[in-house]
Chain A
């Protein structure tokens, strides 16, 4: 099967999956008879039959559940995820506002994870079963065992309050204001428009949350790099390279590493799930206006349209990432396509 056919098949399979996902979300958010009116209306207007009637009609709450689901699906096809009970904005526009912040944070933490995880993994593979290797393993386990909502507070306390090296919460100094929007990624936009003060400010705001969020991914990167390097280092072509007298550094960087990186591609999908889960906590601690914090706030407020919207978006991105990773993998390693 060639790549195009493979991709088409995967994309077509997404349709029933997507319908399944919406159905599950709908069931989840409607299975418990909580009265959503209590969230929309103030306590006083709950006693006012006119207000109750108007709200019920506006949100379609008086229809039977299957019909509500069909209405929901139909609206979805038109890109309408409903109106948030809390912000009173269309959920779609809320998500558009908040998504870039999360993407920026995810990119920042991914860069951090690769920058430190890759060397750590390589070193512990070369020095397998030595002190360095054990230290790296414990360091990675520490990253995976730390609650991000706690490490976030800790790191803020030390680097913002005690040392004053880093700015506090948020994406940018509030007096400075957001840079002219091109992509919604502050660091990129400010650089693009040549707004250097905004560039440095937003970049410095990005550092701490990226470290907190990226530590978990770092652990994954280090571990996978280590085991795949160990596999590769025993291969014949590495032995050949050594036998012909190449410098060890050259053997490792050029012969071994290039092939050891292939399994790292699959990690992107795995890491993404970790990033999304971590983003929920990290964004809450750092007052980062992304979809993670939006999810937490809408969950805390029983804001059904917002919960379903944000969960749907995350699941869809997750699915696309996995398909993308599969495709990338089969481009890099043709054996998989043929198999």
Chain B
């Protein structure tokens, strides 16, 4: 073999960045891609719903109450004669963004608090971490239940409650990340060179801490949707007549024998959460070096 050939094949001229390589691996992960397709399909349905010929999810047709699924009503009708199919599709407009928003807010809040605690240290760190410990001493839905109850039933309040119980997990993770990155040589040399503290945190520490947070976020998104649906089911989230999946199951269960009222919203929740979980598992498989 010629030496020229060797250099051509074995030594790529420019190595790919770690993140690009991970993204490439992710796009070849069948589980992650299946999850992504499910989520995107729901997202498209949610976006185009108002522009299609779907029935109004709030329109009542008393003469068509509790009709079985049929050609004209694919998922049947509910106790007020509303079209269950169009309610399920419109429901995606609430559940999909909410799961996302809960995780994003919890991640931002947790990152800021956790990163500052890890970076500043001392009494501030001590106090913050005790607050984190105390919040994590509750199973999350139990505390969320109490907070949502106090704030009063509404989808926004359910969202606030979820963020309030969820940020500490991100804070704890972020803090440990910052602590481990903080003593790396490139950070120490930046300090020696006299780079300002805020710049060190923003440019040298934070960019190297995000991978585990993103993995956690993608694994958590499904649980966030489940918990929001649960709060709505209890009556502490979306209020009727909002077409929200948890709330639909909650009112549907009183018509126990009209199985379609609960089955279809439940399948909707299941498919979205499964989509997020597939995606999250795939992300973990590609990003977590211990598992590859």
Contact = CB atoms under 8 A, between A and B. Distances in A.
Interface of A: 16-17, 20-21, 24-25, 28-29, 31-32, 34, 141-142, 144-147, 149-151, 153-154, 157, 161, 272-274, 276-277, 280-281, 284-285, 295-296, 298-300, 302, 307-308, 311, 314-315, 318-319
B125 interface: no
A318 B146 contact: no
B141 interface: yes
B137 A318 contact: yes
Nearest to B229: A147
Contact of B150 (A28, A141, A277): A28
A295 B249 contact: no
Contacts of B147: 28
B278 A141 contact: yes
A311 B142 contact: yes
A15 B249 CA distance: 41
Contacts of B74: none
10 contacts: A28-B150, A141-B278, A144-B277, A147-B229, A150-B269, A150-B270, A153-B253, A277-B140, A300-B149, A319-B137
Interface in B135-188: 135, 137-143, 145-152
A296 B149 CA distance: 9
Interface string B218-235: 000010001001100111
Given A24-B134, A153-B249, A281-B230, A161 B142 contact: no
Interface stretch (B19-27, B107-115, B116-124, B254-262): B254-262
A61 to B, nearest CB: 15
B153 to A, nearest CB: 9
Contacts of A272: 139
**Binding site secondary structure of chain A:** helix
B56 interface: no
A29 B152 contact: no
Contacts of B151: 32
B222 A145 contact: yes
Nearest to B143: A311
B262 to A, nearest CB: 5
Contacts of B233: 147, 149, 281, 284
Contacts of B140: 273, 277
Contacts of B259: 157
Contacts of B145: 280, 295-296, 299, 307, 311
Contacts of A149: 230, 233, 246, 249-250
Nearest to A302: B149
A139 to B, nearest CB: 12
B246 A147 contact: yes
A311 B137 contact: no
A68 to B, nearest CB: 15
Interface in B233-274: 233-236, 246, 249-250, 253, 256-257, 259, 262-263, 265-266, 269-270, 273-274
A318 B139 CA distance: 8
A299 B233 CA distance: 13
B142 to A, nearest CB: 5
Nearest to B137: A315
B251 to A, nearest CB: 12
Given A154-B263, A157-B256, A147 B150 contact: no
B281 interface: yes
A17 B142 CA distance: 17
Given A25-B146, A153-B249, A276-B142, A300 B236 contact: yes
Interface residues of B, number: 45
Nearest to B278: A141
B199 interface: no
Given A141-B277, A280-B141, A32 B150 contact: yes
Contacts of B250: 149
B148 A299 contact: yes
Contacts of B257: 161
Contact of A20 (B134, B139, B229, B246): B134
A178 B145 CA distance: 30
A34 B150 contact: yes
A274 B143 CA distance: 13
A153 B262 contact: yes
Given A21-B134, A307-B149, A154 B266 contact: yes
Given A24-B134, A318-B137, A299 B234 contact: yes
Contacts of A280: 141-142, 145, 230, 234
Nearest to B233: A149
Given A34-B150, A147-B270, A150-B262, A277 B141 contact: yes
B8 interface: no
A27 B57 CA distance: 39
A311 B165 CA distance: 13
A300 B146 contact: no
A277 B137 CA distance: 13
Contacts of A153: 249, 253, 256, 262, 266
A34 B222 CA distance: 32
Nearest to B269: A147
B277 A146 contact: no
B13 interface: no
Contacts of A311: 138, 142-143, 145-146
Interface string B279-290: 001000000000
Contacts of B234: 280, 284, 296, 299-300
Contacts of B135: 24
Contacts of B263: 154
B235 A147 contact: no
Nearest to B273: A145
